[in-house]
Structure 1
Amino acid sequence: MNRVQRWAAVAIVLGLMAGSTALLAGEMKADAATASEAITRAEAAQKKADSVNGEWRDTGKFIKNAKKAVEEGDYAKAIRLANKAESEGNLGYQQAVSQSKLEIPSYLKAMY
């Protein structure tokens, strides 16, 4: 590969990297409406997890901090925190449902 071909390859790679970064940044629009929707989804996931006693410890904190970020105008942070809370809510629900049928092994029953 000669020098011109190497520089062309470098230019192509850099162009692709810049394009993908711009695409990723453009996909997440951070405004009040998007943050509000994310918080609403997080609250729904939290209620769903709570309905089976599966709410995780920090879910409420993430929602509270997301609402605070909206008040401060930091919509990207609010969306990020609300998405974490939504994820925790969904995972907490799945965990509680999957563990609802756990049985204590016989060797442990003798201890109680």
Structure 2
Amino acid sequence: MKIKNMLKYSGLAALVLTVAVGCASAPKEEAAESTATQETAASSMEAQNAINEAKLAAEKAQAAGAAWRDTDGLIKQAEEAMKAGDYAKAIALAEEARRQAEAALAQHEAEMAKMGAAGSASSSYEVVRGDSLWRISGKSEIYGNPYQWPLIYKANRDKIKDADLIYPGQMLAIDRAASSADVAAAVNHAKTRGAWSLGVVEESDKAYLAK
């Protein structure tokens, strides 16, 4: 009988110990899962911030007409990596894009500084390969605002038929005496122009030139 009671008490003790161990391990596992979730959220936020900074730098370079083609591609790759959950890759790509945009802008500003005040006040511009009225207008030595491109279009209506089609070597006049009203009208047209087709003179452009 004593042996039977001993076995009974031993089994009961083992059961209590098992329950105790189970209760003790559950919080540890939950804590580990909570920590992993927090780390993932932090990495995701860091990746998103890196992408936002890259986009901001790219926008500044674009506004100055100094953007490099590879920058947008790097940002898109970073966004794809983030969607796939590869936050480390997303951060690396975004930081590379940001550095590239900042370098492009710095290079552009250095070139403008070399040109000096005389170049900044130039009343003409020679079109180079890859140019568009939008890009030319965005250059700091021209207007520093791509939305002012209609001013160039209007000043060169005798040379430019389609605002979307210019050629390397063309010498374009730059209107340095545009009034605030002229600038406002140009910006408004650029923002409300509507759809366009290469090689076609849009009706909205005709209406702008007629004003």
TM range (shorter): 0.5 to 0.7
- Compute the displacement of 1:31 (Å): 1.2
2:177 — aligned with what?
none
Task: Give the TM-score taking structure 2 as reference length.
Answer: 0.34
Q: Deviations over 1:31-89 (max 9, x none)?
A: 11000000000000001111111111210000000000000000000000000000011
CA distance in 2 between counterparts of 1:32 and 1:91 reads 26
Tell me how far apart the structure 1 counterparts of residues 113 and 107 of structure 2 sit (CA, whole Å): 11
Q: How many angstroms does 1:100 deviate by?
A: 1.7
Question: How does the TM-score come out when normalised to structure 1?
Answer: 0.63
Following superposition, the deviation at residue 101 of structure 1 comes to: 4.0
Structure 2 match to 1:48: 60
* Structure-2 residue corresponding to 1:76: 88
C-alpha distance in structure 2 between counterparts of 1:57 and 1:98, whole Å: 20
CA distance in 1, matches of 2:65, 2:112: 10
2:74 is aligned, of 62, 78, 87, to 62
Greater Cα offset, 78-87 or 50-59: 50-59
| Aligned counterpart in structure 2 of residue 87 of structure 1, from 99, 119, 126 | 99
Structure 1 unmatched ranges of 5 or more: 1-29, 104-111
- Number of matched pairs: 75
State percent identity of aligned pairs. Answer: 36
CA distance in 2, matches of 1:90, 1:44: 10
Name the larger-Rg structure. 2
Instruction: Tell me which of the two structures has the higher relative contact order, counting C-alpha pairs closer than 8 angstroms and 6 or more residues apart.
Output: 1
2:112 maps to amino acid: S
Letter in 2 for 1:100: M
How do residues 1-112 of structure 1 correspond to structure 2 at under 5 angstroms? 31-103=43-115
